[in-house]
Chains A and B, each alone.
Chain A
Amino acid sequence: MNKKTLTAVLTVCLLFLAGLAQAQAWIQEDVKIAPTCIHCGMDRIKYAHSRMFVTYDDGRKVGVCSLHCLAIDLAANVGRTPVAIEAGDYISRKLIDAETAFWVIGGSKPGVMTKVGKWAFASKVYADKFIRERGGVLATFDEALKAAYDSLHEDTTAARERKTTPTKEDAPK
């Protein structure tokens, strides 16, 4: 391997590592503060594409796995006003403003903590692409939040059954 090839290979490797570091950059922010969902305990790295992060007016910061758990947190904290609500972009996993994001309700991809998926996209192009490929309807944050509350009864009942029903592994041997 001559000097030129070696330099090229090294440059490519460095660029790859820099890209990887940038892609992981989001992990260092909100996920460091809240690695698991405050309500259901689910891993917020695994669910980076649906995770949410809310900052209240008293400075309290809460990390959740999904819009379902955000809806619960907002209802449990009526004394606080959210000053910022962010959602993980479905494509890049980076936190984006939930209120200006393009939301998709439904589609063939199973939701997080819910039967009906609710996904946030920074770009409308990707939201439309998702709908073309997997179905669902375009919505605003307000519409997605309302849909989360509407299915809360069914989703909570299902989640409780999943959590409290012993699995095969739990059965006495």
Chain B
Amino acid sequence: MNRGTLSAVLVACMLCVAGWALAQEDVHKSPSCVYCGMDRGTFSHSRMLVTYDDGSTMAACSIHCLAVDLAVHIDKTPRSIEVGDFNSKALVDAEKAFWVIGGNKPGVMSKQAKWAFAKKEEAEQFVKENGGTLATFDEAMKAAYESMYTDTKMIRERRKMKKMQGAAGHQ
């Protein structure tokens, strides 16, 4: 490999890293979910970021926690809602994204998964490989609220169990 090619490869690598870092900028600012405390880097493929009309922002791990925040802050109007693209992990407009509800991949904070894709072909490909149905953001939001009853119950029970196991381990 000559010097020119090496430089070109290095520049390309650096651009890739810079691009990735830029795409995940919100994760550096808000590394964990406001509600459940989960790592937004680990869940960058489902993370969400909402900016309200008063300029405040809220970072969540999933559409489940976003739904909670939207219900808590009814006095604010969301100016923008972004979601991590399932494949590239880059933040995309949640309302323009192609959503998939369900499928065989376990959801984040929910039994019924909800994933966002920037491209329709990629969402369709996911459905082909993993199942689920194509949906709009509004349909995914509605599904998030409808499964919140069982999800909240499930999470609470899981955490209670972990606490009990932790307490037993210390004895």
Identify the A interface with B (CB < 8 A).
39-40, 71-72, 74-76, 78-79, 81, 145-146, 149-150, 152-153, 156, 159-160, 163-164
B9 contacts A by Cβ under 8 Å: no
Cβ 8 A contact of B145, one of A78, A150, A159: A150
Q: Are B160 and A75 in contact (CB under 8 A)?
A: no
Known A-B contacts A153-B142, A160-B77; A75 and B70 likewise in contact (beta carbons under 8 Å): no
Residue in B closest to A165 when the chains form the complex, CB atoms: B77
CA distance A160 to B75 in the complex (A): 6
Count, A-B residue pairs, CB within 8 A: 64
Q: Are B152 and A74 in contact (CB under 8 A)?
A: yes
> Is chain B's interface secondary structure helix, strand, loop, or mixed overall?
helix
Q: How many residues of B contact A (CB 8 A)?
A: 24
Question: Counting chain B CB atoms within 10 Å of each CB, which of A39, A72, A75, A79 scores highest?
Answer: A75
Q: Which residues of A contact B75 (CB under 8 A)?
A: 160, 163-164
Q: Are A72 and B71 in contact (CB under 8 A)?
A: yes
Q: Are A75 and B77 in contact (CB under 8 A)?
A: no
CA distance A71 to B47 in the complex (A): 23
Q: Are A39 and B149 in contact (CB under 8 A)?
A: no
Other A-B pairs, 17, CB within 8 Å; known A156-B70, A156-B74, A163-B74: A39-B71, A39-B72, A39-B74, A74-B152, A75-B71, A76-B68, A76-B72, A78-B152, A78-B156, A78-B159, A79-B36, A79-B159, A81-B160, A149-B146, A153-B67, A160-B75, A160-B77
CA distance A9 to B73 in the complex (A): 53
Residue in A closest to B35 when the chains form the complex, CB atoms: A76
B155 contacts A by Cβ under 8 Å: yes
Cβ 8 A contact of B148, one of A79, A149, A164: A149
CB distance from B72 to the nearest CB of A (A): 6
